[in-house]
Amino acid sequence: MVKHRQNFVFGLLCMLMGIAFAIGAKGYSVGTSARMGAGFFPFYVSCLLILLGAWISVTSLGQDHKPEGNIGKLYVRPVIFILGANLLFGVLLVGLPSVGLPPMGLLVSVFATVIVAAMAGREFVWREALLLASVLAASCFVLFVVMLKLNLPVLPSFLTA
């Protein structure tokens, strides 16, 4: 019998994510601890996630007549906006040639991503979202382009051509 529902479900989700990432990491060469491949770190971290999830799920089991930890309601809005923001970032950064969308660059991508992700919350304030987006876009520019010297498109391709 499940003693704590939230912990049991969380443990199952951890194991499911760990299994999914382990399967994905096996597509890369894992190598050995002496000669690590690209899949070494993700594979073994996902294995730890599977073990952690199993431990959490097993410890949530026991003999209790009144289970704790009501699972509660699933809020779909934050999930949609956060996943949508990540998808939007990838699409805006590199463009979508199949529909004629050119690459928008780092600044526009980060700015749009922050605005969409901020809409996931219950209290969306435009001024705060715009301020946060501006600070994060500038920070990403300084960190990735100036300091790390990554070759990323900064502005939309139609402005730089």
* pLDDT one-digit tens code per residue, 100-156: 889 999 999 999 999 999 999 889 999 999 999 999 999 999 999 999 999 988 998
Query: How much is the pLDDT for 75?
Result: 84
pLDDT band at 161 (very low <50, low <70, confident <90, very high): low
Q: Please state the separation of Cα 77 from the chain's center in Å.
A: 16
Number of domains in the chain: 2
Evaluate whether 107 touches 89 at the Cβ level (below 8 Å): no
Query: Among 21-35, 60-74, 78-92, which range has the highest average pLDDT?
Result: 78-92
Structure tokens at 106: 């780092």
Query: φ, ψ for residue 62 (rounded to 5)?
Result: 165, 180
Segments forming the whole domain that contains residue 100: 76-160
Start-to-end CA span in the chain (Å): 64
Alpha helix (H) ranges present in the chain?
5-25, 40-59, 76-94, 105-118, 126-140, 157-160
pTM here is 0.65
Quick check: 39 pLDDT over 90?
A: no
Structure tokens at 122: 């219950």
Judge if 31 and 83 occupy the same domain.
Answer: no
User: What's the mean per-residue pLDDT of the chain?
Assistant: 90
Judge if 46 and 107 occupy the same domain.
Answer: no
Judge if 82 and 149 occupy the same domain.
Answer: yes
Judge if 58 and 116 occupy the same domain.
Answer: no
Quick check: 63 pLDDT over 80?
A: no
Structure tokens at 62: 């026991």
Judge if 80 and 152 occupy the same domain.
Answer: yes
Judge if 64 and 83 occupy the same domain.
Answer: no
